[in-house]
A and B are shown apart, each in its own frame.
Chain A
Amino acid sequence: MNASTLEVPCEIPADARNPVEPFLRMDRMPHIWCPACGIGTTVNCFTRALEESKANLDKVAIVSGIGCTGRVAGYANLDSFHTTHGRAIPFATGLKLANPELQVVVYSGDGDLFAIGGNHFIHAARRNMDLKVICVNNLTYAMTGGQTGPSTPGQTISATSPYGVFEPAFNLVQLAEAAGASYVARWTTFHVKQLARSMGEILQKKGFCFIEVLSPCPTLYQRRNKMGDGLDAMKFYKQVSKIRNGASTADAALTKSGEILVGKFVDRDRPDYLELLQAQMTATLGDRYAEPEVMCEC
């Protein structure tokens, strides 16, 4: 920022509001995220998707695990749950089954969803639980200081891999597809339009939906790996991303500096958990089957 920027005359009307404000708990601002962190960008896209979906926000719940992205739930002006590390998906499973009219969104990070919570992820996808899972993948455990995670690419330097990561990383989109997800997409925080559109699509789609968002962590990932700042991350995403809708997720593995395949990879229809449950019970119990009324009458 230079001095002349500050001198530009600018009148902001007293009633002017950022269009995202109704979707956020403004009494909790400022948020805790670092400058140039990508999580806020994803939240911005999410609010756009919510706005365009015309969803009744009283019926949208958001569930997060632990970590930087785990803090999203606390800033969203929705019924929101900040759960334990890795357990956002099973919590969301109970919430959805008790109250199926809720649209339940799981918003969490790569370490939370795929290391400590990896088992829950694959089983929820297998069941085709009607959850919308948004994973902000910053390739590291940022909240705790930049340690190696299950999606950290090889050769990266991290706080716990000072000589370079040598473990193979998960290809998250391939894992999601193999486990049974109905919808799988990947974008970066450079692709804000496409990301908001994908988020809108999963709000309309039934079943287990998964969006991976590659998101910069300048403070703890890029600095250690001499990858510049937030702007450099945007340039990098722009330079190496290739939009390939419908591409095979098997070809979408990430490396430290190589191509990033983005796009919508999977969009298929499978009966979801509640549909399967009801079909099975109706077939076997007939008239004796009572539709679930899980909420207590009190």
Chain B
Amino acid sequence: MHADPKGVLTGVHFLDGDHACCEGTLAAGARFSAGYPITPSTEVVERFAARIPTVGGIFIQMEDELAASITIQGAVWGGAKAFTVTSGPGFSLMMEHIGYAAMTETPCVFVNVQRGGPSTGLPTLPAQADMMQAKWGSHGDYGIIALCPNSPQECFDLTITAFNLSEEFRVPVMMMLDECVGHMTEKVVIPEAHKLNITPRRFTKLPPSEFRLFEPKADQVPDMVRAGDGYRFHVTGLTHDEQGYPSMNVETQDRSIRRLIDKLTPISGPRALFETENLDDAEVVVVSYGITSRVAQRAIQLARARGIRAGKFRIISAWPFPDPHIRELAGRVKAFVVPELNLGQMVHEVARAAEGKAKVVPVTHAGGSVHNPEVILNAIVEAAR
């Protein structure tokens, strides 16, 4: 279906990433957000709080991130598209309900504008050090989708993608911005509503007597209902059977938890989102994401100018990790160089997917600024030797 024009601010704008992300939520059809202030993410909900009363929806500022991250899920089961926004310390508090959303297959979006950590860390400065937390931060086994924009335009575009994927797969989706992308101001083009594809909620067409809330369809994802429509359904964070009733046995656990992960397999393979350049002749491939991909772009140019056949693989969908694509590349390149604003997170995924077929070189940075392109260049030069 197309976007509801009420939420679409069609035109050419000069926006920062946080504000563009907010416009993405509105265009995607989100009419509910619950938030708690935290730098450098608050601008997303500040704009939403200003915009939503004229669009027709609700923003509520909750008492903490624990509350915000579950309030949105209540809204989703009431029939809304909903999201929350935070940064490092708040993201830590939200882990409880990322697990709940994964377990109850509640479609919703979590925006994390990453700052330096651990703990309070660097509130106003960038990092990309929550990447592993996005995937593994809540207890138990589960799957999520995480997207990494590298510009305000992508903050808009990918926020719509995030909502669409969350509805299609009934899964929480993380928008993993960083402080630089969140606060960088650039041109953002917002198309007309009828040019934006919006994935509707997969509401069941079955009557209540035949419907089971966690019975997977052919794509391993179950259809959904909302409260108040007469289905008298039950949702629990306990391990549950297809009807949604608690079921404390090994068979149900194995069947249902494997499915939470398996249903997302297409995102790592045929539906992975990434951007590549100069891979045809590449001997060294720089794998990067978010703001670091823009610094890496410069390093790749410098390397090419020196005659090094450097290529680019920019990760957009970071989770599930695009294993098959990295694995395929690993068979034909000498090395991967992986710069990121952390002390080594996604580089381990690259190494795992490369299966030893190519050298994998981390270019770490503890956060607080972006890399100097020369540092990445040096790693490329070294890797090409």
Contacts and interface: CB of A to CB of B under 8 A. Distances in A.
A115 B179 CA distance: 35
Contact of B227 (A74, A102, A120, A290): A102
A31 B96 CA distance: 27
A96 interface: yes
Nearest to A80: B234
Interface in A40-99: 57-59, 61, 63, 73-74, 77-84, 86-87, 90-99
B54 to A, nearest CB: 5
Interface in B167-220: 167, 198-201, 203
B54 A93 contact: no
A74 B67 contact: no
Contact of A290 (B32, B56, B96): B56
B227 to A, nearest CB: 4
B234 to A, nearest CB: 5
A95 B123 CA distance: 32
Interface stretch (A134-142, A182-190, A191-199, A281-289): A281-289
Contacts of A297: 4, 29
A79 B71 contact: no
A291 B53 CA distance: 7
User: Of A25, A59, A92, A95, which is in contact with the most chain B CB atoms at under 10 Å from its CB?
Assistant: A95
B132 interface: no
A78 to B, nearest CB: 6
A90 B66 contact: yes
Nearest to B29: A296
B80 A294 contact: yes
Contacts of A289: 53-54
Contacts of B66: 86-87, 90, 120
A7 interface: no
Contacts of A277: 58
Interface string B39-77: 000000000000001111110101110111011111111
A102 B228 contact: yes
Contacts of A57: 232
Contact of A80 (B6, B67, B235): B235
A298 B354 CA distance: 41
Contacts of A94: 32, 34, 70-78, 80, 82
B75 A79 contact: no
A97 to B, nearest CB: 5
User: Of B60, B97, B245, which is in contact with the most chain A CB atoms at under 10 Å from its CB?
Assistant: B60
A11 interface: no
A294 B77 contact: no
Contacts of B1: 298
Contacts of B234: 25, 73-74, 80-82
B31 A296 contact: yes
A179 to B, nearest CB: 12
A90 to B, nearest CB: 4
Contacts of B136: none
A295 B56 contact: no
Contacts of A102: 78, 227-228
Contact of A90 (B57, B70, B79, B82): B70
A225 interface: no
Given A94-B75, A294-B75, 20 more contacts: A58-B232, A63-B74, A78-B232, A79-B231, A79-B233, A82-B234, A83-B100, A87-B70, A93-B71, A94-B77, A97-B32, A98-B77, A98-B82, A119-B63, A119-B64, A285-B53, A289-B54, A290-B54, A294-B57, A295-B79
Interface of A: 25, 28, 57-59, 61, 63, 73-74, 77-84, 86-87, 90-99, 101-102, 119-120, 123, 277, 281, 285, 288-298
12 contacts: A58-B229, A74-B246, A82-B236, A84-B70, A84-B97, A94-B77, A97-B32, A119-B64, A290-B6, A296-B31, A298-B29, A298-B201
Query: Which A-B residue pairs are the 8 nearest by beta carbons?
Result: A94-B74, A298-B200, A98-B78, A295-B79, A290-B56, A99-B78, A94-B75, A95-B74
